[in-house]
Chains A and B, each alone.
Chain A
């Protein structure tokens, strides 16, 4: 029987030279059913980015197990079933927008995985007119839209996003959240989304995983029971109540761990 979920079991990671009593990730258990949008939120140093990188197969771990739909993270990558959006757009500046978006189709052809047409991807993020432009001709928000279109390029089963909007101004950030939601509703991908923003987590997610720092643990998992597709409820009383609940949980997470001083729940 195949498992239709991401399963993280007892995942522990100690960085080399780090304190073995305060692992970066300490016995993390997490289940994400296929198709869910799950946000990871928590104070700096709680290991949320590390967790995403482990699920992406970019980092090793010391104990526990990670399976993604019954495969290892590296097997998922080999099958081009993972899309990754880093914090910076990480576009290739010598390629135009269209070539950047079609990059996943042009590497690792052995996987034999079909790809979305680049023009169609660009249309979905509203950048069809910028196809021939180069990254240095675009704004930060446009670059991040290109990066998202690129990540959707292989129709990934799993999309991993590591604070993709954190470098953008608030207005651009909100616009991009709606772009992302529309894409996600269309492509029905499973998403792990790292964020610092409570509002962002509530707007986007089915569930919010609140993590605590030093050691990095799952503090609480909060379901977001707002109707899909998301709309005005996000800014309505129910949305606000959820935001308050997440903030309270973050405060609890902060008090339970040896948090750095720079934690300011937004």
Chain B
């Protein structure tokens, strides 16, 4: 079962090593990357932590705002018509382009980076949770209405639980996306002193390829851990949902 994966990894590794040996300025050798990581693990952990903080704060703000907006929009149709076009425009705007302006406005601290990350994560959560809140099956709603359930009761006992699969699907998209947002913000915020994005930018300027790829490896690891965390959440919270009921073969 694992064989195809192992073979694929071995092939990519072999190809990488071959290119690194022939063209040292295209790729560093894997052993160089490994040695760089081992030589100063604290440096990488600290920078990873710095980036992770921005990513998670960004998700908390972005997803939190989107969730509240989605709730308001599902309950107040006028708000949906008002906000949806803005959200769509925000989504097609390349946020990278906003980042320098945000740095001007908020300085070199964490704030502009968190804002960039938050903006990146707002839209997927907003769309998914809005869809989820409206995806309540008619018959269940009829049962609630014949019991004369209040709007709050319908929201808490029916709409919110029904939207949970959608919210978690959004989280699955948005958590890795938050790392992208944080790194891009670090690229742009010249003069920032920490974070893997800053590290990559500075190392690349000095042609230190092993450092660049070591930092990228850290980012990839963070992404994988985030996916594993979402998968765990889904198994815990969505045990009743069809997405969790089919056994992966």
Contacts and interface: CB of A to CB of B under 8 A. Distances in A.
Contacts of A58: 142, 145-146
B147 A94 contact: no
Contact of A83 (B145, B146, B164): B146
Nearest to B158: A92
A116 to B, nearest CB: 14
A107 B149 contact: yes
A79 B147 CA distance: 8
Contacts of B144: 107
Given A90-B142, A92-B161, A136 B153 contact: no
B145 A92 contact: no
B241 interface: yes
B140 interface: yes
A109 B158 CA distance: 16
B87 to A, nearest CB: 28
B52 to A, nearest CB: 31
B151 to A, nearest CB: 11
Interface in A67-94: 74, 77-80, 82-84, 86-88, 90, 92-94
A80 B146 CA distance: 7
A46 interface: no
Nearest to B150: A108
**Chain B contact residues, majority secondary structure:** helix
Contacts of A80: 147-148
Interface in B120-154: 137, 139-140, 142-150, 153
A80 B153 CA distance: 15
A84 B146 contact: yes
Contacts of B241: 93
A184 interface: no
Contacts of A265: none
Interface bracket on A: 20 to 34
Contacts of B245: 136
Nearest to B241: A93
Interface string A163-193: 0000000000000000000000000000000
A136 B146 contact: no
Given A92-B161, A135-B240, A77 B143 contact: no
Nearest to B239: A134
A260 to B, nearest CB: 22
A160 B146 contact: yes
Contacts of A78: 148
Contacts of B161: 92, 94
Given A135-B240, A136-B240, A90 B139 contact: yes
Nearest to B145: A58
B148 A111 contact: yes
A56 B142 CA distance: 9
A87 B240 CA distance: 21
A93 B240 contact: yes
A117 B235 CA distance: 32
Contact of B148 (A83, A103, A108, A135): A108
A57 interface: yes
A136 to B, nearest CB: 6
Contact of B146 (A56, A88, A93): A56
A83 B144 CA distance: 10
A82 B146 CA distance: 6
- Which 8 interchain pairs have the tightest Cβ spacing? A86-B139, A90-B139, A84-B146, A93-B240, A107-B149, A90-B140, A77-B148, A78-B148
Given A84-B142, A135-B240, A150-B143, 16 more contacts: A56-B142, A57-B145, A57-B146, A82-B146, A86-B143, A88-B137, A90-B137, A90-B140, A92-B157, A94-B161, A103-B143, A103-B147, A103-B157, A107-B157, A108-B147, A160-B146
28 contacts: A53-B142, A56-B146, A57-B146, A58-B142, A58-B145, A58-B146, A74-B148, A77-B145, A82-B146, A82-B147, A84-B142, A84-B146, A86-B139, A86-B143, A87-B139, A88-B137, A90-B137, A90-B142, A92-B157, A93-B241, A94-B164, A103-B147, A107-B144, A107-B150, A107-B153, A108-B153, A134-B240, A136-B242
